[in-house]
Structure 1
């Protein structure tokens, strides 16, 4: 069982949402099996299986905009948030870049995705393979 559940915002129609989704996927890849994605739409719709996945684990939310839909809905579903990231805050560190669109990320967008995933993994010490 994974230690963390990662819930990105849906962000349909916005590049920030695309970055949030890709950063969540990349975080799970880099975590060495310590993270699992949970679909925000399932939580919002009240899906009991999705809510059950949040029990007794810590959550990582990645939101595209200040509305914080992922964080708000994880809390409403009873989840405990260990780390909460807003893509819009990360984008402020990279003013003037061209991240792409809601359907296609440019190289700059992928760099932001990697930065977010790396920051989450470093903050929570995820994906470290211990030497034997």
Structure 2
């Protein structure tokens, strides 16, 4: 596979863990490894947008779900994409119980720190897919 790795976060609007997933995805695609990743909003796949589906045919995806329903992973697969890694915010939280997020429209400090931890895990996975380190 070629192209930038697609980072597909949960759309869990109104849920703290969904907000953590989105914040982590933004950190990866805008700051940690923008040259190797591209944000792919789940809504575009749900709507069946041709460009979004075409992107999935050119690269692998890392999905970031806020809950065990795993909507991002399911939709990527149903859209014909290859999911290289399926991440769950809850799994990361279980390893960092001191970072329980709260807030929805705006995450609190613990939520932002949890998003950063998750983003750094995603960065390492991108490095594994692309070869070398995740960075820009």
Fold match by TM threshold 0.5: yes
Whether contact under 8 Å (1:9, 1:70) holds in the other structure is: yes
- 1:90 corresponds to 2:92: yes
Q: Which residue of 2 aligns with 1:127?
A: 134
Structure 1 contact 7–62 (Cα < 8 Å) conserved: yes
CA RMSD in angstroms comes to 1.7
The answer to whether the 8 A contact 1:2-1:36 is kept is no
CA deviation vs aligned residue, 1:7-44 (integer Å, no higher than 9, x gap): 10100110001000011111112014100011101101
Report the alpha carbon displacement of residue 96 of structure 1 after superposing the two structures with TM. 4.8
Unaligned runs of 5+ in 2: 128-132
What's the offset of the Cα at 1:2? 4.2
Give, in whole Å, the separation in 1 of the partners of 2:22 and 2:37. 14
Corresponding residue of 2:45 = 43
Q: What corresponds to 2:130 in structure 1?
A: none
* Superposed structure 1 runs of 4+ greater than 6 Å apart: none
Tell me which of 117, 123, 126 is aligned to 1:115: 117
SS of 1:6 mapped into structure 2: strand
The 3-state SS of whatever aligns with 1:54 is helix
Return the alpha-carbon distance in structure 1 between the equivalents of residues 66 and 118 of structure 2.
Answer: 12
> Which residue does the alignment assign to 2:71?
69
Whether the 8 Å CA contact 1:27–1:120 is kept in 2: the answer is yes
Higher helix share: 2
Shift of 1:48: 1.3
